[in-house]
Structure 1
Amino acid sequence: MLATLITFTAFAVLLRIVANPLANVFQKQLTQRTADPLFVISATYGFLSVTCLAFWPQLRLYDLPAEFWYYMLVTSVLAMFGNVFLVKALHLGDLSVLGPINAYKSVVGMLTGIFLLNEIPGWWGLAGILLIIVGSYVVLADKKQRSGFSWQIFQRPEIKLRLAALVFSAIDGVFLKKAILVSTPTIAFFYWCLLGFICTLIWIGLTMRRQWRPQLNRLFSEKLIFLGLCLAVGVTQLSSNVALAGMPVGYALALFQLSALFSVLFGYQFFQEKDIARKLIGAGIMVAGAVVITLFA
C-alpha cells in the first residue's frame, strides 16, 4: 500500500512538472492573439468548474469544516492574482526566461521564515541563494553583455510581474495544503476552480464590462488552444494537490522546480526563443539552488 502511494505521488509530481510549462505555452499563445490575461484565467476557472460538476456532482453537497472555507478563500484570492500576473508576464516576456525565475520561490519562502518564524538560514541556504542568483544571471544575461550581475534585470516589467506571481503562489501553496488536509485533493481542486471563477468574475465586472464579449469571441475562435489550456491547468493543479497531500510541501516545491527545464525547451519549440543552451544551463543552476534551499537549508 505504501509503495503504491509513493508511486502515485511520484506520478503526480511528474505530470505536474510537464503540464505546468505546457499550460504556460497555451497562455502565451492566447495572449499573443489579443486575449486578455484576466479573461483567460477566469474562463479557465469557469470551464474547469463546469467540468468538475459534470464528472463529480457529489462535490456540490460535501460536508466540509469551517476552516476549509477560510483556507480556500485565501488560496483562491492569492491564486487569482498570481495566475493573472503570470499570464501578463508571459505576454511580455520569453517563456524560456520566465519559467526558471520560479526558482526564486524558495528564496521567498526563506525570507518569510526569517521575518515570521525567526528561522535564520545556514550555509546551505546561502549557497542555494548564490546558485539561484548565478543561474538567473546566466538565464537573463544578453550574449553581448560582459558586465557582472546587475539588479537592473529585475526592473524589467515581465520580471516584476513574474516575481509578483511567484510571491502570491508561494503563499497560497501553504493555505492550499491546509485545505487539502481537512478535505481531499479533488475537493480542494473543485473549490479552487469555483472560488477562483467567482473572484475573477468580480474583477471582470469592475474592470472589463465592455470588453468581455469580444474576449469571449476570441476564446471561441481559439477554442482548441483554450481547451488545451484547460486540460493542462486542470492536470497541473490536480496533480499538485495530490503531490501536496502525499509529501511535505518543501519536497514537492523542490521537485516542481524541474519544470523550469521544460519551460526553456518549450520556449524554443513553440516560440523559437534564442540562446536555449545557455538558458538550460542557467535553469539547471537555479533548480539546483532551489533544491538546496528547500531540502537542506
Structure 2
Amino acid sequence: MFVTFVSITSLAVLIRIVANPLSNVFQKQLTHRSADPLFIISATYGFLALACLTVWPQLQVEGLPKAFWLSMLVVGLFAMLGNVFLVKALHIGDLSVLGPINAYKSVVGLVVGIFLLNEIPGWWGLAGVVLIVVGSYVVLSNKQQRKGFSWRIFGRQEVKLRLAALVFSAIDGAFLKKAIVLSSPTIAFFYWCVFGFAFTLIWMLIVLKDRWQEQTSLLFSQKSTYLALFLTVGVTQVASNIALAEMQVGYALALFQTSALISVLFGHRFFNEQGILRKLIGAAIMVAGAILITVLG
C-alpha cells in the first residue's frame, strides 16, 4: 500500500512539473491576443467548476466541518489573487525568467511552515534558500551589464507581480493542505474552482463591466487555446492536490519548482526568449536549492 501511495504521489508531482509551465504558455499566448488576465482566470475557474458538476453530479456538501469552509474561503481569495498577478506578470515579462523566479515559493513555504506548522528548517534547508537566491540572480542578470548585484532587479514590474503571486500561492497552499486533510483532494479541487470563480466573477463585474462582451467574443475566437489552458490548469491543480495530500506543504512546493527548467525551455521555444544558456544555468541552481530543501532540509 505504501509503495502505491509513493507511486501515485510521484506521478502527480511529475505531471504537475510538466503541466504547470505548459499552462503558463497558454496564459501568455492569450494575453498577447488581448485577453484580460482577470477574465482568463475567471473563465478557467468557471469551466473547471462546470466540468466537475458534469462528471460528478453529487458532490459532498453536508458533513464538512466549519474549518474546511473557512480554509476554502482563504484558498479561493488567495488563489485568485495569485493567479491574476501571475498572468499579469506573464503578459509583460519573459516566461524563461518568471518560471525560475517561482522557486522563491519554496522559501515562502519554509517561512509559512515555521509560523503555521512549526516546521523548523535545518542547515541544508537554509543552504537551499541561498542557492535559490544565487540562481535567481543568474536568471535575472544581463550579460551586457557590468555592475554587480542590485536590489533594483526586484523593482521590475513583472518580477514584483510574480513575487506577489507566489506569496499568495504559497499561503494558499498551506490552507489548501488543511482543506484536503479535512475532506479529499477531489472535493477540495471542486471548491477551489467554485470559490475561485465566485471571487473572480465579483471582481470582473466591477473592473470589466464594460469589456466582458469583448472578452467573451475573444474566448470563442480563441477557443482552442482556452480549452488547452483549462485542461492544463485542471491537471496541474488535481496533481497538486494529490501531492499535497501525501507530502508536507513546504517540501511539495519546493519539489514543484523543478519545473523552472521547463519554463526556460518553453520560453525559448514558444516566445523566442533569449539568454537561454544563462537562464538554464540559473534555473538549475535554483532547482538544486529546491531539492536541498526537499530532501535534506
Note whether the superposition's TM-score is higher than 0.5: yes
| Paired residues for 1:210-289 under 5 Å | 210-289=210-289
Is the 8 Å Cα contact of residues 109 and 253 (structure 2) preserved in structure 1? Answer: no
CA distance in 1, matches of 2:293, 2:12: 22
Name the residue aligned to 2:8: 8
CA distance in 2, matches of 1:117, 1:267: 35
How far apart are residue 277 of structure 1 and its match?
A: 1.4
Name the residue aligned to 1:109: 109
Name the residue aligned to 1:172: 172
Is the 8 Å Cα contact of residues 110 and 121 (structure 2) preserved in structure 1? Answer: yes
Secondary structure of the residue that 1:58 maps to in structure 2? coil
Name the residue aligned to 1:28: 28
Is the 8 Å Cα contact of residues 258 and 290 (structure 2) preserved in structure 1? Answer: no
Provide the TM-score with structure 1 as the length reference: 0.95
**Structure 1, residues 142-161: CA drift from partner, whole Å, max 9, x if none?**
12122222111000000000
| Paired residues for 1:144-155 under 5 Å | 144-155=144-155
Matched, 1:54 2:50: no
CA distance in 1, matches of 2:14, 2:123: 30
Which residue identity is paired with 1:167? V
Is the 8 Å Cα contact of residues 79 and 168 (structure 1) preserved in structure 2? Answer: yes
Which residue identity is paired with 2:267? G
Pair 1:63–1:122, CA change in 2 (3 A): closer
CA distance in 1, matches of 2:293, 2:150: 22
Is the 8 Å Cα contact of residues 250 and 295 (structure 1) preserved in structure 2? Answer: no
Is the 8 Å Cα contact of residues 53 and 60 (structure 1) preserved in structure 2? Answer: no
Which residue identity is paired with 1:63? G
| Paired residues for 1:23-172 under 5 Å | 23-59=23-59, 61=61, 63-112=63-112, 123-172=123-172
Which residue identity is paired with 2:56? W
Which residue identity is paired with 1:157? Q
CA distance in 2, matches of 1:109, 1:6: 22
Pair 1:72–1:148, CA change in 2 (3 A): same
Secondary structure of the residue that 1:98 maps to in structure 2? helix
How far apart are residue 127 of structure 1 and its match?
A: 2.2
CA distance in 2, matches of 1:135, 1:26: 26
Secondary structure of the residue that 1:176 maps to in structure 2? helix
Q: Name stretches of at least 5 consecutive residues in structure 1 with no aligned partner.
A: none
**Structure 1, residues 81-103: CA drift from partner, whole Å, max 9, x if none?**
00000000000000000000011
CA distance in 2, matches of 1:218, 1:26: 14
Query: What is the RMSD computed on CA atoms of the aligned residues?
Result: 1.7
Provide the TM-score with structure 2 as the length reference: 0.95
How far apart are residue 252 of structure 1 and its match?
A: 1.6
**Structure 1, residues 212-254: CA drift from partner, whole Å, max 9, x if none?**
1101111111000000000000000000001111222233222
Which residue identity is paired with 2:102? N
